[in-house]
Chain A
Amino acid sequence: MFAYIVRRVLYAIPILLGVNLLTFLLFFVVNTPEDMARMQLGAKRVTPEAIEKWKAERGYDRPLLWNAQAEGAGRATQTVFFQKSVRLFALDFGASEDKRDIAAEIGERMWPSLALAVPVFLVGLAVCVSFALLMAFFRATYLDLWGVVLCVAMMSVSTLFYIIGGQYLLSKLWHLVPISGYQGATDALRFLFLPVFIGVVAGIGASSRWYRTLFLEEMGRDYVRTARAKGLAERAVLFGHVLQNALIPILTGVVAVIPLLFMGSLLSESFFGIPGLGSYTIDAIQAQDFAVVRAMVFIGSVFYILGLILTDISYTLVDPRIRLQ
């Protein structure tokens, strides 16, 4: 097990390198440091000297990928790519292009993101599992049929409509919650109610239908039939056997998502004005702040890989037959 984890962590390094190179290329193939400088410096009274100063200050005055002027290894190391990537692997994110410390910023913005993402995740899971369980319980009745129809209908609505509609009704018409914004501590509840509610509702369709399929599959198994033949009550079969066994694929499937909760939600955060990591990323893309984009992509990939490892581990935990080599 330990050896396995070490191997996976080592395997992550080339992946992170690849990710880093890809973002670097995507950003700099068309967007030269000079473009970035002009973007940051604005339109009024920009002189070539100011641009040079800006580049030098942020270390963009070196060649991008290959330094022909340098000697030996310096050809590869005296470059923007190398200098910027090495720091990332040491988890030193540096400062954004407008000179704010990225690590401090992430530390600050992580909490609003989590405050939104974790409740959406937990409440969503609980609601969807219960709904799916209900549908499975009432299988082959009109309740099940309409449940599935409802799910497909809910899946067919774009998230944008949920958000726009929810804001319009709950905030504008009914004055129940603030339309947007965020405050820390206990005040957060008022601001989070609507985005969490919408996040959960938007996810019900796809997840419930998927979980229902899992439950039905489980119900078709022999042991369930045996249990029922023994005269066990339907309720006992459902909660005693089916739920327990069907939860395994659900939970192992869900483990991969947990680390990514840190990254926040891009759409909800920008719609509801929540100062989390999701809106940080969107802002950075719009402002072409490469330092921030690179850091966020890096963290995102780390969490993704972490999710993969967690999934593997959770498999062994729930099913002793699987061994990690």
Chain B
Amino acid sequence: MKVSLIIGILIILILSVVAIFAPLICPYEPSAIDQDSLLMSPSSKHLMGTDTLGRDLLTRILYGGRISLSIGIIAVGIATVIGIILGSIAGFYGRWIDSLIMRFVDLMLCFPTFFLILAVVAILGPSIFNIMVIIGLTSWMGTARLIRAEILSLKEREFILAARAYGASPLRIILRHLIPNSIGPVLVSAILGIAHAVLIESGLSFLGLGVQPPIPSWGNILIEAKSTLGIAWWLALYPGLFILITILGFNLAGEGLRQKYE
């Protein structure tokens, strides 16, 4: 499992570097239309071919990666912060606060996430900002449960009792002692969460309800693949391959890290 951690981290690193430096790597502009070279199959000039408007596919995929990865990371960031706040409050204070928060978690878990996300997108409209926030707001429940369980078991340990005896405030105990000591499983779930968020975002964009063209994202490049089925295989193959590798990378890293913590 150590191998999987290393492979996962390598995949994440390479993808991030390529996405961050996309403007330096790509010889083309992501939205540069070239009518003379539309739907060209992969060649030395266009490594992954071109789309129906003659835009370079590799360039669009790399720029799309910037969008898809940032949505994944920010959405999980939002979810993790909410999860940590609610989970640690529930775990630390216990009693009615705990049951109130945990019933709310149960309630949120009742909604099929994809239904909920689509419903809110239908109401607020699809935009990069909305999608990040909506994915974040609908995926914090696992983190909250995790951190609550961790804090419940840490709360009775000697070093926390010692901190209390010293007269440390609840906020200080939570922030300085409880959260840092329970961050391991949260980190694992956050890494796995990014994979999930990237998958949701690409699904939304593929349905036309996520990132809107001309801004490229891995999901919305695949919309074109649907209309060119049988004509341009590269449009279907490559964007999905990037989604696959990304999710694989985050899953491998997450699982590897989990094994390490256990």
Binding partners A and B? no
Give A residues with C-beta under 8 Å from B. none
